[in-house]
Amino acid sequence: MESLAKTSVSETGAPSGSAKGRQTRQAIIDCALQMAGRIGLEGLSIGVLADRMDMSKSGVFAHFGSREDLQIAVIRSYHDQFEQEVFYRAIAQPRGMPRLAAMVQRWLQRVSVEMETGCIYISSAVEFDDRPGPVREALVAMIQTWHDAVRRAIAQAIECGHLKADTDPQQLMFQIHGYILALHHDARLLRLPNSLALACRSLDALLRAQATPAGLALLTPCQAHASQAAQGDVAH
Amino acid sequence: MESLAKTSVSETGAPSGSAKGRQTRQAIIDCALQMAGRIGLEGLSIGVLADRMDMSKSGVFAHFGSREDLQIAVIRSYHDQFEQEVFYRAIAQPRGMPRLAAMVQRWLQRVSVEMETGCIYISSAVEFDDRPGPVREALVAMIQTWHDAVRRAIAQAIECGHLKADTDPQQLMFQIHGYILALHHDARLLRLPNSLALACRSLDALLRAQATPAGLALLTPCQAHASQAAQGDVAH
């Protein structure tokens, strides 16, 4: 099975060798992931985490060499979830328009269920765009990996004759990503009740404009999201 | 002259009545604005500011009732600059496509000169989307004010017959904003050297797709930006 290339992020955590150790480590990461969605990766503190987990600070530290290692473990865990929910399901679809449309729709879905928690990729992008170091590098590597996967799907859709031959994969990726970012912004900051419908229609229009007749026939509009948004399920 | 509606943000700062007091207050805000672009509004501390300004903490505090008031003053100052550089210059253009295109191009230009410093609107959006309170309210009010101005310009372009009658101002605004956000992301986090060219082409294509023949004749493509980006002036 095809896979999102794993980025070379060093695994850490001394006493995580045992099954129990690995379980505790994962529980800490899960808790940190939940917190990071709300307060950002930079807001994570070993102290607050220890408190939440009912552990000592040194107990938490024992599983991660440093706060940076914890932050990287959180990004990696987020990446794994994203891969499961978006990438693997999309590549189960046939190459070309079906796979590309599935990627776009699952990405949209992922961001829309994250309306309450916030997307770690998007919030960390702003947190770390000006902070060089291993956390930024890990974040960039994982985001690049996903963007590369989408660009690959676009290139395949061109090869399959489902997107027009003059489609620029980098340009189309930039545009898709823009609508995802605008959705996150409008739903989370502005609380616009119809932001999901706007994103859905924008993405549909984008793919339609670049599709060949063969591609158009394979394109199912994301109606489900639009009707959800119309019912005001998204932004409260 | 038309104006971006001022948002009702309370002015504070006890000893700022005198000319000297106002000058000091503005100098603190300028310094804070510079810092906030890099470290975020939440990263601002009265202590570090006092240090930078060679003032006592209480001296800085005397100009702002609280850290929140300082943060709001910084957002307002950013808003005033944005208004001067983007809004006022754009509305000097005739109504319809010339004004709308000027808004879009000046917005793009503003974000592209902010590649090094970061856009306060965009970084604060992520910082405050989950933190209710007066800072978030001030931020939302100012962003909404600008978005309303763009939507108004789109509606006028429809009335002038420069954009197709079926253009949805909210949808087009969402799409323009998406490309601005993607530019900020790709140039600052991913350091993609051609992100400005991608944004430029995407915005051009968007306006072209919605323009009537009369509107098309009035639309000047933003070549300058594209060639700048090609020379690698943007992302380092």
Kindly report, residue by residue over B27-64, the tens digit of the pLDDT: 999 999 988 877 888 888 888 889 999 999 899 889 98
What is the structure's pLDDT at B221? 76
Q: Could you tell me how many CB contacts below 8 A there are between chain A and chain B?
A: 108
Query: Mean pLDDT across chain A, nearest whole number?
Result: 86
Q: Is the pLDDT confidence value at A6 over 50?
A: no
Beta carbons of A190 and B126 less than 8 Å apart: no
DSSP readout, A11-79?
A: ---GGGSSHHHHHHHHHHHHHHHHHHHHH-GGG--HHHHHHHHT--HHHHHTTSSSHHHHHHHHHHHHH
Percent of chain B exceeding pLDDT 90 equals 60
Nearest-CA residue of chain B relative to A124?
A: B126
DSSP tag of B88: I
ipTM of the complex: 0.87
- pLDDT band with cut points at 50, 70 and 90 for residue B170: very high
**With 70 as the cut, is the pLDDT of residue A8 above it?**
no
Angle ∠(A152,A154,A159) on CA atoms, nearest 5: 95
pLDDT tens for A77-115 read: 999 999 999 999 999 999 999 999 999 999 999 988 887
Residue B1 has pLDDT above 50, yes or no: no
- Cβ contacts of residue B47 below 8 Å, gap of 6+? B57
pLDDT band at A15 (very low <50, low <70, confident <90, very high): low
pLDDT bin (cut points 50, 70, 90) of residue B122 is: confident
Outline where chain A has alpha helix (H).
Answer: 19-39, 46-53, 57-61, 67-82, 89-90, 97-113, 120-128, 134-159, 169-188, 195-210, 213-218, 223-230
**Torsion of the alpha carbons at A39, A42, A45 and A48, rounded to the nearest 10:** 0
Q: What pLDDT is attached to residue B180?
A: 96
Q: Does A122 touch chain B (CB under 8 A)?
A: yes
Residue B178 has its nearest CB partner, among A122, A171, A178, at A178
pLDDT at A231: 41
Closest-CA residue to A68 (of A46, A51, A35): A46
Chain B residues lying within 8 Å of A147, measured CB to CB: 190
CA distance B184 to A6: 26
- Is it the case that residue B154 has pLDDT exceeding 60? yes
The answer to whether residues B170 and A198 touch, using CB atoms and an 8 Å cutoff, is yes
Whole-angstrom distance, CA of residue B133 vs CA of residue B16: 25
Q: Within a 13 Å sphere around the CA of B214, how many CA atoms are in the beta-carbon half?
A: 11
Q: Does the structure show a pLDDT above 70 at A64?
A: yes
Min mean pLDDT across B67-71, B88-92, B142-146 is at B67-71
pLDDT for A7: 38
Candidates B171, B177, B182; nearest CB to A174: B182
- Token pair belonging to B202: 């995407």
pLDDT grade, residue B183 (50/70/90)?
very high
| Residue A197 touches chain B, beta carbons under 8 Å | no
Chain A interface includes B122 (CB < 8 A): yes
Alpha helix stretches (DSSP H) within B40-168: 46-53, 57-61, 67-82, 89-90, 97-113, 120-128, 134-159
Structure confidence at residue A170 (pLDDT): 97
From the list B106, B132, B207, the residue with the least C-alpha distance to B163 is B207
A174–B199 C-beta distance less than 8 A: yes
- B230/A contact by beta carbon, under 8 A: no
Higher pLDDT, A138 or A37: A138
The lowest-confidence range among A119-128, B77-86, B164-173 is A119-128
**Rounded Cα gap, residues A63 and A22, in angstroms:** 9
Nearest Cα of chain B lies from the Cα of A202 at a distance, in angstroms, of: 7
Tell me the three state secondary structure of residue B217: helix
User: In 3D, which of B45, B82, B79, B80 has the Cα closest to residue B64?
Assistant: B45
pLDDT value of residue B223: 52
Q: Please provide the distance, in angstroms rounded to a whole number, between the alpha carbons at the two ends of chain B.
A: 39
What distance in Å separates residue A158's CA from the closest CA in chain B? 19
B230 has pLDDT over 90: no
H-state helical runs in B10-96: 19-39, 46-53, 57-61, 67-82, 89-90
Bridge partners (DSSP) of residue A163 are A211
Q: Report chain B residues whose CB lies below 8 A from the CB of A194.
A: 170
> What domains can be seen in chain B, in order of their start residue?
74-235 (1.10.357.10)
Phi and psi, residue B163, nearest 5°: -115, 150
Q: How far apart are CA B233 and CA A62, in angstroms?
A: 45
Range B7-18 average pLDDT = 48
How many other C-beta atoms lie within 10 A of the C-beta of residue B208? 12
pTM of the model: 0.87
Closest partner CB to B181 (pick from A118, A123, A178): A178
Q: pLDDT tens digits, residue range A125-182?
A: 888 888 899 999 999 999 999 999 999 999 999 999 999 999 999 999 999 999 999 9
With CB atoms and an 8 Å threshold, state whether A129 touches B118. yes
pLDDT > 70: what percent of chain B? Answer: 86
Lowest mean pLDDT of A114-123, A155-164, B142-151, name the range.
A114-123
Looking at residue A129, the DSSP 8-state letter turns out to be T
Say yes or no for a CB contact (<8 Å) between B130 and A195. Answer: no
Contact B174 A38 (CB under 8 A): no
**How many Å apart are CA B39 and CA B48, to the nearest integer?**
12
**pLDDT digit string, tens, across residues B83-102:** 999 999 999 999 999 999 99
Task: Please determine, for residue B224, whether its predicted confidence score (pLDDT) is greater than 80.
Answer: no
Is A126's CB within 8 Å of B128's CB? no
| B194 close to B176: Cβ distance less than 8 angstroms | no
pLDDT band at A124 (very low <50, low <70, confident <90, very high): confident
Any residues with CB less than 8 A from the CB of B15 and at least 6 apart, and which?
Answer: B21, B62, B63
Of residues B223 and A215, more confidently modeled: A215
- Is A114 an interface residue toward B (CB < 8 Å)? no
> What band does A51 get if pLDDT is binned at 50, 70 and 90?
very high
pLDDT at A48 over 60: yes
